Amino acid sequence: MAAERKRYECSFLPPGWKREELCRKSGLSAGKIDVLYYSPSGKKFRTKPELARALGSSVDLTYFDFQTGKLSSAKKDMQLKKTSQVDYGRGIRSDALLVPPIRQTASIFKQPITLVKNFPDGKVKSDYKHGTQERPKQLFWEKSLQGLRACDITEQQLLNVQLPKALRHIGPNTDDAVALQSLTTALHAGNAPITGQAAARQALEKNPGVFMNPQQPLVQSVCITEEDVRQQEERVCRARKTLEHALGDLRP
C-alpha cells in the first residue's frame, strides 16, 4: 500500500527527535494519517506509551497529543484559567467569574473563625442556628438498667427500694424499678427541682418524644403539700433524737 511520507522536527520533544506522517493513498483507509516518532538514533515509536517509556521522566507527556505532536486542548484551557485575572479597578469581568467555585476542604474539618466580642448583647450565628450546644439526653435511657439488681459482697441481692405512694411511674413500658432509677439519677446528676412529668399518661404513651421532659424522672407530676413537709420534719426530728440517744450510750 503506497503512502506519502512527511518527516520533520518535533518542537515539543528534545532535540534530534523527529515526527513522521504517513498519508495512505489507496484502499479502504485512504486518507488516514499514521504518525510515527524517531529517536536521534533512528529507533521507531508507534504509540504514546512506547514514547513515554523511552523518554522516561525527562519529558512530561501527560498533555501531549501523540497524533498532532502538540499540547492537547485540555492543557491549553487549564493554562488559560490560571492566567486569567480580574481587574476590579477597571471593572473588567473575565470568564473566570463564570466558573463555579470549588470547595477546597471537606465539611467534616473544623474551620477557624474570628469571634468579635465588642458588642455585649451580640451573639454568635451558631447560637441562632443550632440553639444550645449541650448534648441532648436520650429518652428512656434508664430502661437499659432493667433487670439489674444490686448485690452485697456475698452476691446476695439487696431488697429493692419501694417508691412512696405519692410517686407513680409513667411512660410506655415502664415500672417502679425504672422510675426509681430515673429518680435517683435526677437527684444526683440534675440541678433542677423534681416536679415529675407534667403531661398526662395518655399523651405520654401516644407520643413520648413530644410530651416527655427528659430533664425530669419518669414519675407522674409531684405535688408537695404542707402536710407532707410537716410529716417529713417530724421524721427528721425523731431520727435525730434516736441518733443522740445512741451516741449518749456509747460515751464512757
**What are the pLDDT digits (tens) for 25-81?**
877 777 788 888 998 888 988 888 888 888 888 888 888 888 888 877 665 555 555
- Cα of first residue to Cα of last residue in the chain, in angstroms, is 130
Cα-flanking dihedrals φ and ψ of residue 141, to 5°? -70, -20
Per-residue model confidence (pLDDT) at position 87: 47
Q: Is 85 in contact with 94 (CB distance < 8 Å)?
A: yes
User: How does 125-141 read in b/e, with b if 16+ C-beta sit within 10 Å?
Assistant: eeeeeeeeeeeeeeebe
Q: Which helix (H) or strand (E) holds 81?
A: helix 73-83
Q: What is the pTM of this model?
A: 0.37
Domain architecture of the chain: domains with CATH: 3-76 (3.30.890.10), 141-238 (no CATH)
**pLDDT exceeding 90 applies to what percent of the chain?**
5
